[in-house]
Amino acid sequence: MAPSILVASLLLYFGLTAASPILARAPVDYAPVPATCPSTQLVRQAAGLSDAESDYISKRYAKASKSLEQWLKRIDESFDVGNGAGEGGWGKWNGKQPKAPMIALTSSGGGYRAMLSGAGVIKAFDERETDIDSGVKGLYQSLTYEAGLSGGGWLLSSIAGNNYPTISSLQTNLWETALMYNVLVPQVLLSSQAASVFADVVAAVDAKQDAGFPESIIDPWGRLLSYGLLYGPEGGIDTTISEITTYSNFTSSNAPYPIITALGVNRFEGICIPQPNATQYEFHPFEFGSWDEGVDAFVSSKYLGTPFSQGSPSGNCITNFDNLGYVLGTSSNVFGSTCGPIPAANITAVSSASTAGTLAALTAPGQPGVPESAIFAPFPNPFQNFDPSPLVAAQPTLELVDGGVGVAAQGSPIWPFINRPAIDVIIVNENSANTPNNFPNGTGIRNTYNAALAAGLSRMPAIPPAETFVAQQLNQKPTFFGCNSADTATIIWIPNYNYTFNSGQPTSKLQYEVNETQGMIANGVLIANYGGKEGWPLCLACGIMAKSGGNLPGGCAQCLEEYCFN
């Protein structure tokens, strides 16, 4: 590769010619800043949705229901959506007031494999896409919620953090170049052409530490990831997760509500690797927290980083801690699984540099590496001395890692949705690497089922063991779970499968040639379309509507017989 091409490409994707699709803003420092505390309550016990989320969901659900009605009618006019009265145009069925199914989508972890494959699924669902002919197009507009974890969190952050553009737009204007010349690759980051990026990341990390916040490898990790995911100066350095509430597609309720997940570790009790009952945390535009017993609380995302005691600020409030790059880096924090310090790479010898070692050098310039404490994503504990949170009340800091690591890792961010009983259907796009060739085998979703049983969460349908997935080849096709269970959500499980491209790429793969990015996304479109199988759009619609209470088209009986696991 000629240096001139590399320089031009680096200049392009480091933001020197890229324009933000939101609004041009003056760059702000990465460091959190003091702010006046509002008079409103900032910490609450997890007793239902916050007023802000509830208000958003009410408006979003009405729009999603109308979109679902339109999609169903395109597939088969005989879908019964009533007489047009009521929420989202839904009327009465059989003398009863129906409820349009509330639908959520999850995108699993799995690095860039998961991001690109999951992007293709969303592209197939999105009615705004003009270059594909998809029978499932319009389903994205029918979603009320969307969640991402790790690589799926990168995908969701890139969508929500850029005001919900199309996948085609992100692919062409950001990802193709960003993944080809990825600054996470030491040979790229340590090149002379990227010296300004290296310097900017060091300055950002230093500024945060100078503001009184501890060093962490997640700061440079999230900063460098953001160069390939977010528009704006220095990889969207001023983008926060709470800021999403000000974007036009959010204020107009045009987008599903985004949630990014991570796991807590309890090193204060000597536990480094997340266990099956590890606390599941959620980040979303309004709040951060957990439904799990022992935490059972949420805090305003905008004021993350504020010192709290007994649910109230114990000093000045802090803003800007909820940097979206730090959030997406936290959700993909695989470094915590090492449970030990990470030495800095020899940055004078590019051939000996590793990604983790280079991040260590960025975290503590001039030092031999980072200590064990700095491999976790630290968050000042908003639930300190808070009575509903006995598990963490004594901890000054929460330490978070990738939600897809640890013992009995789940991989897909289903947990938020089985804690929200209004959600009827969860579409689970699974891109984990459970097999030797990096495809799913059902292990993750089975682990979610076991964890839900242990926690007493009844909305999770029964899931068979991985051996059944493999024996019945469920891991190679869509499958519906919970079809005949009135008290659980329906899960529509759509796994990664290599229809036209080798989509089982290693999770560790950091560089994708343009044709690879294109191939992964195009294959993801086919994953959403079940490879173009005849009748799939109808069967997907039948699976969504099976428990809605309405009359189903005649073809649904055969669909449910084929796709429902019993």
- The 3-class SS string of 104-140 reads EEEECCCHHHHHHHHHHHHHHHCCCCCCCCCCCCCCH
Rounded mean pLDDT of 6-19?
37
Q: For residue 158, give Cα distances in angstroms to 167, 283, 413.
A: 9, 15, 17
**Burial bucket for residue 130 (CB in 10 Å: 0-12, 13-18, 19+):** exposed
Phi-psi region of 508 (alpha: psi -120 to 50; beta: other; left: phi over 0): alpha
User: Residue 2: what pLDDT?
Assistant: 33
pLDDT at 89 exceeding the cut of 90: no
> Which of 179-183, 370-374, 500-504 is least confident?
370-374
Across the range 284-299, mean pLDDT stands at 98
- CATH code given to domain 28-182+228-333+376-563: 3.40.1090.10
Q: Return the minimum-mean-pLDDT range out of 93-102, 327-336, 484-493.
A: 93-102
Q: Give the pair of three-digit tokens for residue 321.
A: 């801690």
State the average pLDDT for the chain: 90
Average pLDDT over residues 286-294: 97
Chain mean position to CA 31: 24
Confidence check: pLDDT of 22 > 90: no
Q: How far is CA 86 from CA 40, 145, 298, in A?
A: 34, 21, 32
Give the pLDDT band of residue 98 (cuts 50, 70, 90): low
Non-local (6+) Cβ contacts of 101 within 8 A are: 68, 424, 425, 544, 545, 547, 548
The pLDDT value given to residue 7: 34
Q: pLDDT category, 83, cuts 50, 70, 90? A: low
pLDDT for 18 beyond 60: no
pLDDT over 90 at 403, yes or no: no
Residue 153 has pLDDT above 80, yes or no: yes
**Is the pLDDT at 425 greater than 50, yes or no?**
yes
Q: What angle do CA 360, 365, 367 make, to 5 degrees?
A: 75
Mean pLDDT within 217-246 = 96
Q: Quote the percentage of the chain above a pLDDT of 70.
A: 92
Tell me the mean pLDDT in the region 451-475.
96
Residue 321 one-letter amino acid:
F
Q: What is the average pLDDT across 145-165?
A: 98
Give the list of residues 6+ apart from residue 195 with CB closer than 8 angstroms, or none: none
Cβ-contact 175, 517 below 8 angstroms = yes
Its pTM stands at: 0.93
Taking CA atoms, 322 is separated from 31, 156, 227, 235, 243, in Å, by 10, 16, 17, 15, 9
Q: Is the pLDDT confidence value at 10 over 60? A: no
Q: Reply yes or no on whether the pLDDT at 123 is more than 60.
A: yes
Rounded mean pLDDT, 180-191: 93
The pLDDT tens digits for 245-278 are 999 999 999 999 999 999 999 877 777 788 888 9
pLDDT at 20 over 70: no
For residue 128, give the amino acid letter: R
The pLDDT > 90 percentage for the chain reads 80
